């Protein structure tokens, strides 16, 4: 049976290049390593197998360099003496580059032609746990070299889809906050959030917290579960007390985004503003109350052995009758113009308290509100100045940019991906926010993200991108590098740093969800 002889396989080509030789010819067959693919090559007689071959390449590197015009030109220049022989030399029919790093012995590195550089990166980066750009470059420089290696490795790693989607890159510096415009009347703007799940108490597991942006008056409602039915029930109660607000501020919880709830709220004449994910301070008014309510529930449950659902009314009363630091008035006083007290205090002062007549109660209330407005604006300016002093304007993105979003809430454990995406920017929003759509589709659903958590992605590299990179390098300032400059070891920036996508916070501060919840609580 006529059988071809397999000499070797090019490990630098993902598709596989099989070298097959016969008595008279040598073949390069791009194959899938299957027997059927090899059998398509013209066979020879078994008696021809032992016939000695003449001048056949010994390895893949010699074949690759022999087929590359640039390498052959460099070899010819070396023979003519026009190429620096201190940096380049020919050995065993291969072109080598003499690499002399600082603090190390010089070594000879095999020159890699253009057609094999992308495959080389796939082996040294993809097959070695997707290590960073600097480590990848150092690993390559133990054996191989080509002009523009540093820039090529950095570009390749910055475009790597696996690195971008699985690794959590350093967050950019926090962007300046933009405070809410303070309303001039009670229950114009309402901030809402849910606390829970808590240990079951009389069937309840959650607490809905509503806070008025002007008076700081809070309402606490126990919920059996997080769904639109429960949400409508408590909102109807709040509306029956204070009317329909103009604006409702909440996060992107499922029950808040449910179409049945949003449609119902819009029919009432109320607008809804959803806080951008991970930007908890945008709803800091109610986030701060949630933390306080949780502490008071712990006191009632652990210290007094009280069922927390039964203690909510007392907690709500205490919060509403105590003086606010910013307004210097209690929320109840600012709302209705009178003070109140708890049953315990009322029993204590019943026989000793002196009632002070206030014939102009409404006038006093308006004076207090005017003073509260001034104090709120003063506190807002102070908070903005304090919080924004170490923040920098974020990077701007354009419509149709592809981005990944840093993910801090790991829902499936520590091995959960550090990034979400890829997304496409479909709309630029105020205050450094963007509306995004998943490239995979997700049936048209969109989300939002802040610029400080977004990382630009320019797409995965392909052979066409690789060829364009070296064409641009030849047209630019890399011509002198092809002539053979020494390559000094230097610290390579991370892929994200080089492209300007993200930079470390000066203080190295990487936020956690809990830390952000009470950040920048503005009056």
Segment 314-330 mean pLDDT: 86
Whether 401-472 and 9-31+59-159 are alike in CATH topology: the answer is no
Contact 217, 190 (CB under 8 A): no
Tell me if 372 sits within 8 A of 396, measured CB to CB: no
Which residue in 407, 459, 401 sits closest to 434, CA to CA? 401
CA distances from 155 to 122, 137, 163, 168, 434 (A): 13, 12, 12, 18, 26
Whether residue 197 has pLDDT greater than 50: yes
Vertex 296, ends 291 and 302: CA angle to 5°?
120
Cis omega (within 30 of 0) on the bond before 59?
Answer: no
Q: Is the per-residue pLDDT at 417 higher than 60?
A: yes
Residue bearing the bigger pLDDT, 172 or 95: 95
Handedness of CA 394, 395, 398, 402 (dihedral sign): negative
pLDDT digits (tens, 9 = 90+) for 3-45: 444 444 444 444 444 444 444 444 444 444 443 344 444 444 4
214-255 pLDDT, tens digit each = 889 999 999 999 999 999 999 999 999 999 999 999 988 889
CA neighbor of 91 nearest in space, from 107, 112, 108: 108
Both ends of the chain: CA-CA distance in Å? 90
pLDDT of residue 412: 62
What contacts 59, CB < 8 A, 6 or more positions away?
Answer: 8
Domain boundaries in the chain?
A: 9-31+59-159, 189-387, 401-472
- The helix (H) or strand (E) run that includes residue 472 is helix 463-475
Phi, psi of 200 (to 5 degrees): -60, 130
DSSP H/E element including 137:
helix 133-140
| pLDDT, position 390 | 76
Three-state helix/strand/coil letters over 199-266: CCECCECEEEEEEECCCCCEEEEEECCCCHHHHHHHHHHHHHHHCCCCEEEECCCHHHHCHHHHHHHH
What is the domain class of 189-387 according to CATH? alpha beta
CA distance 446 to 437: 5
Pairing of β 247-250 and β 189-195: parallel
Q: Of 119, 118, 150, 146, which is closest to residue 136 (Cα–Cα)?
A: 150
Selected from 2.30.30, 1.25.40, 1.10.10, 2.60.40, the CATH number assigned to the domain covering 401-472 reads 2.30.30
Q: Each residue of 63-97: pLDDT tens digit?
A: 889 888 999 999 999 988 898 989 999 988 899 99
Please tell me the predicted confidence (pLDDT) of residue 420: 81
**What is the 8-class DSSP label of residue 38?**
H
Q: Are 118 and 126 in contact (CB under 8 A)?
A: no
Q: Tell whether the model's pLDDT for residue 508 goes beyond 70.
A: no
pLDDT grade for 284, boundaries at 50, 70 and 90:
confident
**Whole-Å CA distances, 255 to 85, 126, 260, 331, 448:** 72, 42, 9, 28, 17
The CATH code for residues 9-31+59-159 is: 1.10.340.70
Taking the C-alpha atoms of residue 473 and residue 490, their distance in angstroms, rounded to an integer, is 20
Q: How far is CA 39 from the centre of its chain?
A: 50
Residue 167 CB contacts under 8 Å (≥ 6 apart), including other chains: 130, 418, 419
The three-class DSSP label of residue 330 is strand
């Amino acid at each position: 049976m006529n059988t071809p002889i397999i000499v070797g396989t090019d490990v630098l080509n993902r598709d596989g290049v099989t070298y097959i030789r016969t008595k008279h010819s040598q073949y390069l067959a791009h194959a899938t390593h299957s027997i059927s693919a090899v059998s398509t090559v013209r066979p020879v007689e078994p008696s021809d197998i032992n016939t000695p071959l003449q001048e056949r390449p010994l390895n893949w590197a010699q074949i690759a360099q022999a087929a590359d015009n640039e390498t052959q030109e460099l070899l010819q220049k070396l023979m003519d003496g026009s190429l620096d022989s201190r940096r380049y030399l020919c050995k065993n029919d291969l072109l080598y580059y003499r690499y002399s790093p600082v603090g190390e012995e010089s070594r000879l590195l095999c020159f890699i032609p253009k057609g094999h550089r992308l495959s080389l990166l796939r082996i040294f980066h993809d097959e070695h746990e997707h290590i960073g750009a600097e480590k990848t470059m150092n690993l390559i420089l133990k054996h191989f070299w080509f002009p523009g290696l540093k820039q090529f490795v950095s570009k390749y790693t910055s475009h790597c889809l696996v690195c971008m989607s699985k690794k959590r890159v350093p967050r950019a510096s926090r962007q300046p906050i933009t405070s809410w415009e303070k309303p001039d009347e009670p229950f114009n703007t309402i901030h809402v959030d849910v606390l829970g799940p808590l240990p079951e108490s009389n069937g309840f597991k959650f607490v809905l917290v509503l806070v008025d942006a002007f008076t700081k008056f809070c309402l606490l409602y126990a919920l059996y579960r997080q769904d639109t039915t429960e949400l409508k029930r408590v909102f109807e109660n709040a509306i029956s007390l204070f009317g329909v607000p103009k604006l409702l501020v909440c996060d992107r919880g499922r029950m808040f985004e449910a179409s049945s709830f949003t449609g119902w709220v819009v029919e009432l004449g109320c607008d809804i503003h959803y806080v951008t994910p991970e930007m908890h301070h945008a709803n800091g008014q109610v986030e701060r109350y949630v933390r306080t309510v949780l502490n008071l529930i712990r006191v009632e449950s652990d210290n007094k052995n009280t069922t927390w659902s039964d203690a909510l009314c007392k907690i709500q009363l205490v919060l509403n009758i105590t003086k606010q630091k910013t307004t210097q008035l209690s929320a109840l006083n600012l709302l209705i113009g009178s003070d109140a007290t708890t049953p315990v205090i009322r029993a204590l002062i019943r026989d000793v308290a002196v009632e002070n007549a206030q014939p102009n109660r409404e006038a006093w209330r308006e004076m207090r509100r005017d003073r509260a407005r001034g104090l709120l604006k003063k506190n807002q300016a102070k908070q903005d100045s304090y919080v924004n002093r170490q923040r920098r304007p974020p990077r701007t993105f354009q419509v149709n940019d592809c981005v990944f979003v840093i993910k801090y809430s790991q829902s499936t454990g520590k091995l959960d991906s550090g990034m979400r995406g890829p997304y496409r920017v479909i709309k630029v929003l105020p205050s450094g926010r963007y509306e995004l759509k998943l490239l995979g589709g997700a049936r048209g659903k969109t989300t939002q993200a802040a610029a400080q958590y977004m990382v630009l992605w320019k797409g995965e590299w392909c052979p066409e991108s690789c060829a364009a990179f070296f064409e641009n390098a030849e047209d630019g300032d890399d011509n002198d590098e092809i002539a053979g400059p020494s390559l000094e070891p230097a610290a390579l920036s991370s892929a994200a740093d080089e492209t300007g996508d993200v930079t470390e916070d000066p203080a190295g501060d990487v936020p956690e969800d809990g830390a952000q919840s009470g950040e920048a609580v503005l009056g």
